[in-house]
Amino acid sequence: MTLRVLALAALFPLASFCQIQLFLFDGTNETAITSSGLSVGAVAVGDSIETDFHIRNTGATSATITTITLAGSGFTLTALPNPQYVLAPGAFVGFSTTFTASVAATYSAILDINSPINSLTVTLRASATPASAGASVYLDGSTISLASGATIGFGSVTAGSTGSHSITVDNTNGTSAASIAISGAGFQASSAPAQVAVGATATFTLSFQPPSGQAYQGTLSVGQQSFILQGQGITAAAPTASIVVNNGASVSSAQQVYVTIPLGAASQAIATGTLTLQFQAAASGATDDPAIQFLTGSARTAGVTVLPGDTTARINGNPSIAMQTGTTAGSIVLALQLGSAGSQVSIPIPPTPVLIETEGGVVSQSELTISMSGFDNTHSASQLVFTFYDTNNNTVSPGSITMDATSIFQNYFNGSAYGGLFSLNAAFPVTGNITLISTAQVALTNSAGVTQTQRIVF
């Protein structure tokens, strides 16, 4: 390991009139060396310190550097490309020294920089301490420890699935606590301790869960040791899926039903997609029914997700989604796009006779009013027949009153934004004793049949 340091200078100043001057360089800034002795630092045996220098011409005329030499055990000098340098005023030439020790000791070396104008001599000093004992790292129960820099491979893993290794950190012979850190997308070890104390041992699971189908690389750091983590993500095919509405039972107008997306088998992949709703109207003159929609999220589009292990897709994050079927006959078409696969199902909404949801009668001094509401999913209501009954349950003269309301209903449905929903008020003037009329009944006809109300009480 090589350490770059900014060495500290002692306090013996060189002659201030020198035309060439020596500087420490930290990669950004220069620091003038104003002493004849310089400590470059201390390292453990086997480690290195690299120190960068600049020789700068601080005079007003050119200066020639004739030789740069370094003599001393453990120190080496970076070879310079030219044996001599001519430095213009203000110019510099850079070089570096490296200190590496094989035994614990104090070291020194003499750095000489020669020039016809002035020469510089600096004593470089360094010290080496015994190498610290690090923790041993074992993979999957092996009795042979991993060398620092070794690669821990996970092979190919399906995106969303998990590959794992057992890691044991043995710090029984260590001289300092061994910190543990994992970096890199897809790699994690939730059970790993932050560090393993001197004399302790810890075992944890190192896992690889690729987010997508590509290659991933990370790092496991144990104390001063680093290990390369590698794994290949594989994108699994999206599972086969089907669309089920109302648990497979038939569907009609004015219902709230649930849509589910069961999978052909437990998913091995992460997949995303959309479920969209369209409506094809069959009623006369109708093009759409806005009431046919999903009841959560967007009216006619829902997000679909699948995670490994799922047997049912999640629709807007839930196992199912509620849908209302509106009040217009036709076909509801649900289309699923999941991954690269698509499917769809058409749910018929059959035509039905008019459905009456509310009905009532109001009597005034000389008029009877019948009110009702409901829906006609064929948009074809035509004939209305009103029959009134007296208190003895006899038909009131002139008997049944028939009305052709075809054009009235057609005009209404053509301009309505509410599907087949309608409300109706019919007023009848009465001559004679109005209190003798007690009930009425209404029959409504559309293309699917005839609907007759219950007795409406006044």
- For the cut 80, the answer to whether the pLDDT of residue 3 exceeds it is no
pLDDT the model gives residue 340: 83
Cα–Cα distance for residue pair 337/110, rounded to 1 Å? 76
- For the cut 60, the answer to whether the pLDDT of residue 362 exceeds it is yes
- The region of weakest confidence among 68-82, 212-226, 411-425 is 68-82
Reported as a single tens digit per residue, the pLDDT across 263-299 is 999 887 788 999 999 999 999 889 999 999 999 999 9
Tokens at residue 62, please? 């050119």
pLDDT the model gives residue 48: 87
Cα–Cα distance for residue pair 32/150, rounded to 1 Å? 42
- 3-state DSSP helix/strand/coil percent for the chain, to nearest 5? 5, 55, 45
- For the cut 90, the answer to whether the pLDDT of residue 12 exceeds it is no
- The region of weakest confidence among 79-88, 97-106, 193-202 is 79-88
Q: Are 158 and 268 in contact (CB under 8 A)?
A: yes
Cα–Cα distance for residue pair 235/269, rounded to 1 Å? 7
- For the cut 60, the answer to whether the pLDDT of residue 93 exceeds it is yes
Q: Residue holding tokens 């829902």?
A: 302
Tokens at residue 415, please? 């301009």
Give the residue with greater pLDDT, 19 vs 363. 363
pLDDT the model gives residue 8: 37
The mean pLDDT of the chain is 91
Reported confidence tier of residue 10, pLDDT bands at 50, 70, 90: very low
Cα–Cα distance for residue pair 29/6, rounded to 1 Å? 10
- For the cut 60, the answer to whether the pLDDT of residue 6 exceeds it is no
Cα–Cα distance for residue pair 90/63, rounded to 1 Å? 10
Cα–Cα distance for residue pair 316/323, rounded to 1 Å? 13
- For the cut 50, the answer to whether the pLDDT of residue 11 exceeds it is no
Reported as a single tens digit per residue, the pLDDT across 21-80 is 999 998 889 999 988 899 998 887 778 899 999 999 998 999 999 999 999 999 999 867
Question: Which has the closest alpha carbon to 422: 295, 324, 283?
Answer: 283
Q: Please state the pTM of the whole predicted model.
A: 0.55
A 10 A CB-CB count for 375 gives 23
Reported confidence tier of residue 366, pLDDT bands at 50, 70, 90: very high
Reported confidence tier of residue 130, pLDDT bands at 50, 70, 90: confident
Question: Which has the closest alpha carbon to 291: 417, 422, 380?
Answer: 417
pLDDT the model gives residue 168: 97
Reported as a single tens digit per residue, the pLDDT across 161-189 is 899 999 999 999 888 899 999 999 999 99
- For the cut 60, the answer to whether the pLDDT of residue 1 exceeds it is no
